[in-house]
Structure 1
Amino acid sequence: MSEVTSPLTVGVTGSSGKLGRATVARLRGAGHEVIGFDLAGSPGPGFTRVDLADYGQTLDALLGVTARHGGVDALVHLAAIPVNGLVPDVTTFTSNVTATFHTFFAAHRVGIRKIVYASSITAMGFPFDEAPPSLPVDETFTRAHNTYGLGKVAEEAIAAQLVGWAGDASITALRFTNVVDESEYDTFARADDVTYRRDLLGSWIDARDGAEAVALALEKAQPGFDAFNVAAPESGLRIPSRELAETWFPGTPLAEDLGRFESLMSTRKIQELWGFRAQHDWR
């Protein structure tokens, strides 16, 4: 488990969500003070109810809240409408991009120079009705096929530009795949079904390992913008990955050194650069 060298006060938007709860627990376990920001939750020590659709609330919350906190050193932005279909498609895009812009711009104005936020597999071709250029799919490939994914592509573009407005700023996009809570492992009962997780390239990530990726980003991210895939290093199926690739995407180039069950959503970058090691495996 990685540790940040000195304690920080970290704001976490979406702190009441599946990944948010795991991230808050992980960061507090490392000795950081964590301030949760969300619409859901009971106001109290370590939590403030904030509507990120309102820029004034967002800015004020990051500056500090009386009797709660005096500002934050770093920001983890996880809040979002999580998938298409919960609200009309345009609402998904508009709500998510607006909330992210408000969060990024308020952080810039306040002087918060380290931001880690949730991008998504939907920014790299999900649900993969079209074959990707090669497998495993890495961070160099960007394509959206729905308004949730389009919002993530737009947010990455905003981050890549905004980070240049302050020379020491760092914004890291973590392209999460499907986040699985420890109580949801019964879903892997279909792991022998070749259609299982087809739209996710067979990928998944335990929420606790997703939180570890966030902690690593806070520790290791350098000034500038960068994106990292976050998935378990092995797939959510018992079928070998080469067989899956040849079934799902016949003729698509495969890495010669593809591991037997290696995730077809590549995690090589985060493993090689940051030493990311998932600790939880459905197997």
Structure 2
Amino acid sequence: MTRVAVTGGSGKLGRAVVAELLAHGYDVVVLDRQRAPQHDPRAAFLSIDLTDYGQVAEALTAVDDRYSSIDAVAHLAAIPAPGILTNSATFANNVPSSYNVFAAAQAAGIDNIVWASSETVLGLPFLQSPPPSFPVDEEYTVRPQSTYSLGKALEEEMARHFTRWNPSLKLIGLRFSNVMEPADYAAFPAFADDPASRAWNAWGYIDARDGAQAVRLALESTLTGFEAFIIASADTVLEAPSAELAARFFPDVPFTRDVYGTETLLSIDKAKRMLWYSPRHSWRDEVAGTPGANETPRAGGVTTP
């Protein structure tokens, strides 16, 4: 049984990742400041300050009476968005924590690391900085627009060099869209009243359970080196056709391929191709009266202009 350390395992995405890993037979150690009220007792818990390299180095090697080694790391801990703390406080927490995890894992001989990057490196908010094309993909240079996003971009650059130094290392950055749980979906129908309010990320989201699936698949991948993947749900947060929304709010952004119905404008093609990622959950499944999210594209559907 592989032992995975999950930093930030008490958070929204972290709890889903812990549940996913436990369900697939992994031994899990949660590394976080506080234990979640819903903490699964099958997972060990260790309170830690990730900005302290010494604590991280110890946690990724052995802790008396708890465990003797760690095989892989899912690094999810961070101030999760801009505007929660001051810019400098956000940077001072997130970037050093990620460096500490990357460096301590390498020192401990751990060569399997997956961590939470962010959709924000794609240039969010898009209304201020439109993407070069739709669907948005991983093929253009990151363009952070906030201190939070700058930190994520720097983490990706660090990952490139850590893997350059150690060719056997795997560092996969998952650019998660806006993480949602089923309890959040009751608010989704109201987004139709103001579509512009969700244009900042092209109406994207990720169900925490599918985000957890992506983490597990990335951990299980045989890839080496650095890779970044957009991780989003298969659909948008609205019932309006995606191509029509893009034409309305981003009339100058071209399409590189057809987009059908409510298909996401945040391309998950690379994650599907290289990680075998396949979203299983949609807000439409949780809210009565909405059509299915994952209809097969068919003739007569709404496509790109």
Establish whether residue 28 from structure 1 lines up as the match of residue 22 from structure 2: yes
Counterpart in the other structure of 2:177: 177
Establish whether residue 275 from structure 1 lines up as the match of residue 276 from structure 2: yes
Counterpart in the other structure of 1:212: 213
TM score, norm. by length of structure 2:
0.88
- The one-character-per-residue Cα deviations of 1:70-114 (angstroms, maximum 9, x if unpaired) are 121000000000111111111111210000001100001111000
Instruction: After superposing the two structures, state which structure 1 stretch, 59-68 or 191-200, moved more.
Output: 191-200
Letter in 1 for 2:208: A
CA contact (8 A) 2:234 2:282 kept: no
Counterpart in the other structure of 2:301: none
Task: Measure how far apart 1:221 and its partner are.
Answer: 4.4
Letter in 2 for 1:13: T
Counterpart in the other structure of 2:290: none
Counterpart in the other structure of 1:17: 11
What SS does the aligned partner of 1:27 have?
Answer: helix
Letter in 2 for 1:165: W
Task: Measure how far apart 1:220 and its partner are.
Answer: 1.5
Question: Superposed, which structure 2 residues align to 1:107-256 within 5 Å?
Answer: 107-128=105-126, 129-141=128-140, 142-192=142-192, 193-256=194-257
Gaps of at least 5 residues in structure 1 are 1-6
Q: What is the alpha-carbon distance in structure 2 between the residues aligned to residue 196 and residue 260 of structure 1?
A: 20
Q: What is the alpha-carbon distance in structure 2 between the residues aligned to residue 18 and residue 41 of structure 1?
A: 12
Letter in 2 for 1:66: D
CA contact (8 A) 1:191 1:238 kept: no
Report the count of equivalent residues. 277
Letter in 2 for 1:140: E
Counterpart in the other structure of 1:4: none
Measured on the aligned residues, the alpha-carbon RMSD in Å equals: 1.4
Question: Superposed, which structure 2 residues align to 1:42-57 within 5 Å?
Answer: 46-57=44-55
Q: What is the alpha-carbon distance in structure 2 between the residues aligned to residue 191 and residue 254 of structure 1?
A: 24
- The one-character-per-residue Cα deviations of 1:192-243 (angstroms, maximum 9, x if unpaired) are 2322421121000110000000011011141110000000011111111111
Gaps of at least 5 residues in structure 2 are 285-305
Counterpart in the other structure of 2:63: 65
Percentage of identical aligned residues:
42
Task: Measure how far apart 1:127 and its partner are.
Answer: 1.0
- The one-character-per-residue Cα deviations of 1:24-77 (angstroms, maximum 9, x if unpaired) are 010011000000000011798611111001000010111111111112100000
Counterpart in the other structure of 1:79: 77
CA contact (8 A) 1:76 1:115 kept: yes
